[in-house]
Amino acid sequence: MKLPKLKHTQSGHFFLIAGPCAIESQDLALEIAEKLVAMTDRLQIPFVFKGSYRKANRTKLNSFTGIGDQVALEILKKVGDTFQVPTLTDFHESDEAERAAAYVDVLQIPAFLCRQTDMLTAAATTGKVVNVKKGQFMSGESMAFAVEKIKAVNPEAEVFLTDRGNSFGYGDLVVDYRNLPIMQAHGVPVVMDCTHSLQQPNQASGVTGGKPALIATIAKAAIAVGADGLFIETHPNPSDAKSDGANMLPLSQLEALLEKLIRIREAIS
């Protein structure tokens, strides 16, 4: 994956996409980024900072959606400039792609929107790297068409695919690890989303639940299967997070997990 400011690409390690679910404030984003940069530099893990400038897919009308698009996008740019790391954000309407691309290095297509042709082609035209999350209703084989749509518009576009589990009934997800090598066969890097794959959606409360105690399990299995990268949302105090706190890994636990994952990667190399 060719990204400006992406370091440690010769280390042979998996790459890491990590950060808070949503941009909550500049101070918090910089605090999280500083700690993530320090640990990934020490471990020589290629790192992309992730943060959503807006959360459009919420169950309840009064759920937190963001601090304002422009403010959050400017914070993402500040993170990238301050720490010299690439940044990633998702967008939710095709006409938002160009605007978001002015502030970040990677545009992400949310899982529920991975079949939306206008979204995929809009991301392709920006020239940015595009991460497409596999829909909870999609097979690994069917994600070939998302890659095909992007490449048809921009043959030089860099694309990677992210698995985030499949719907298992109405309120749970399961991970089918066969999808990782299946999607790698499409000729693109493949990432495992270790936090969203543990969501428990459609709860009666209107707030998505999760099983964060199993984040390490998902991550270890993904590395053992040969995932190119991992996606992990993290926060200093997940219980205080304004979005998806039920799924996020406490920031204090991430470095020890990454050390274990490196040993797994080395064991299978």
pLDDT digits (tens, 9 = 90+) for 78-95: 999 999 999 999 999 999
- Identify which of 67, 70, 81 has the alpha carbon closest to the alpha carbon of residue 242: 67
Triad 27, 45, 99: Cα angle to 5°: 50
Report the pLDDT value the prediction gives residue 208, as an integer from 0 to 100: 55
Residue 97 and residue 125 in contact, taking contact as beta carbons nearer than 8 Å: yes
Instruction: Among 134-148, 154-168, 208-222, name the one with the lowest average pLDDT.
Output: 208-222
pLDDT of residue 267: 95
Determine the pLDDT at residue 204: 45
Helical ranges in the chain per DSSP H = 26-43, 69-83, 97-101, 117-125, 144-153, 179-184, 215-225, 254-268
> How many angstroms separate the CA atoms of 63 and 194, rounded?
23
Mean pLDDT of the 127-144 span: 97
- pTM of the model as a whole: 0.95
Please give the Cα distance from 27 to 160 (Å, whole number).
30
Task: Point out the least confidently predicted range of 18-32, 53-67, 97-111, 122-136.
Answer: 53-67
Q: What is the pLDDT of residues 53-63, one digit of tens each?
A: 998 876 677 78
- DSSP string across 147-163: HHHHHHH-TT--EEEEE
The rounded percent of the chain whose pLDDT value lies above 90 is 84
Share of the chain above pLDDT 70, in %: 96
Please give the structure tokens belonging to residue 5. Answer: 């400011």
- Quote helix, strand, coil % in the chain, to nearest 5: 40, 20, 40
Using pLDDT thresholds of 50, 70 and 90, give the confidence band for residue 139: very high
Question: Cα(226)–Cα(237) distance, rounded to whole angstroms?
Answer: 30
Q: How many CA atoms lie within 13 A of 168 on its CB side?
A: 12
Q: What pLDDT score was predicted for residue 46? A: 98
Contact 52, 64 (CB under 8 A): no
- Nearest in space to 15 (alpha carbons), one of 53, 51, 43: 43
Task: Give per-residue pLDDT as tens, 161-177.
Answer: 999 999 998 888 999 99
Strand partners, 52: 22
Residue 235 near residue 250, CB atoms below 8 Å: yes
* pLDDT computed for residue 150 by the predictor: 98
Nearest to 221 by CA among 264, 257, 267, 269: 264
DSSP symbols for 74-91: HHHHHHHHHHT--EEEE-
In the block, residue with structure tokens 């002015």? 102
pLDDT value at residue 137: 96
Q: Across all residues in the chain, what is the average pLDDT? A: 93
What is the pLDDT averaged over residues 56-79?
88
pLDDT digits (tens, 9 = 90+) for 243-260: 877 889 999 999 999 999
Residue whose token pair is 């954000």: 89
Mean pLDDT of 131-157: 98
Mean pLDDT of 215-237: 97
Quote the pLDDT of residue 202.
Answer: 55
Domains in the chain: ranges and CATH: 15-268 (3.20.20.70)
Residues 26/51, Cβ–Cβ less than 8 Å? no
Query: Which DSSP category does 22 fall into?
Result: B
